[in-house]
Amino acid sequence: MKKKTAKTTPTGKPKKKPAYNQSSAIRSALRRMFSRSPVVWEVIKAGRRYFAKYNKDGSRAKKDGVETHCEVCKQWTKAPVKTSVDHVEPVVPLDGSFDPQNPNWNMYISRLCCDKVNLQRICDTCHDKKTASERDARNAKKKALKNGKV
């Protein structure tokens, strides 16, 4: 039997478990609920195409291969590259109006549970770039508000 070891930091000190954050738990539950909604599945299915797969001996495989289409880079990607559904207009606004300490859940839910028009299929590479640019814009806005420049 494998012995359990405590998780540690690079310096060897044990990691402390973060305190329970109610807002984070609610936000996570809402995102999980939305990810399982029929609207998301419609968007995913609309961007799939199947192709024939063959075994090493040349016979046809039991299951066809699946490619998914990224609406940002317009590429068809195979299985190892994950394609997910993303909001075109971010759920958390870039203008800094969403306060994580005192969130407006009605606004958050209305932006999260949107129509197919505001959803796009996006590969992991494009999603990482988009998320990073949104995070940078949000952080720049927070910094400007903190310094009193806006």
Q: Would you state the pLDDT for residue 127? A: 94
Cα(55)–Cα(61) distance, rounded to whole angstroms?
Answer: 6
pLDDT of residue 3: 58
Per-residue pLDDT band at 2 (split at 50, 70, 90): low
Band of residue 117 on the pLDDT scale cut at 50, 70, 90: very high
Q: pTM for the whole thing?
A: 0.76
Q: How many alpha carbons fall within 13 Å on the CB side of residue 103?
A: 16
Per-residue DSSP letters for the chain? -PPP---B-TTSPBPPPPPP-HHHHHHHHHHHHHHTSHHHHHHHHHTEEEE--B-TTSPBPSS-EEEEE-TTT--EE-TTS-EEEEESS-SS-TTS---TTS--HHHHHHHHS--GGGEEEEEHHHHHHHHHHHHHHHHHHHHHHHHT--
pLDDT at 122: 94
Q: Could you tell me the CA-to-CA distances from 107 to 104, 110, 132 in Å, in that order?
A: 6, 5, 23
Would you say residue 144 has pLDDT above 90? Answer: no
Whether 56 contacts 114, CB under 8 Å = no
pLDDT score for 104 = 86
What is the identity of the amino acid at 21? Answer: N
What's the pLDDT at 150? 57
- Tens-place pLDDT, residues 86-114: 999 998 888 877 777 788 889 889 999 99
- pLDDT of 145 above 80: no
- pLDDT at 72 > cutoff 80: yes
The per-residue pLDDT for range 25-60, each reduced to its tens digit, is 998 999 999 999 999 999 999 999 999 999 999 999
Q: Which residue has the higher pLDDT, 81 or 89?
A: 89
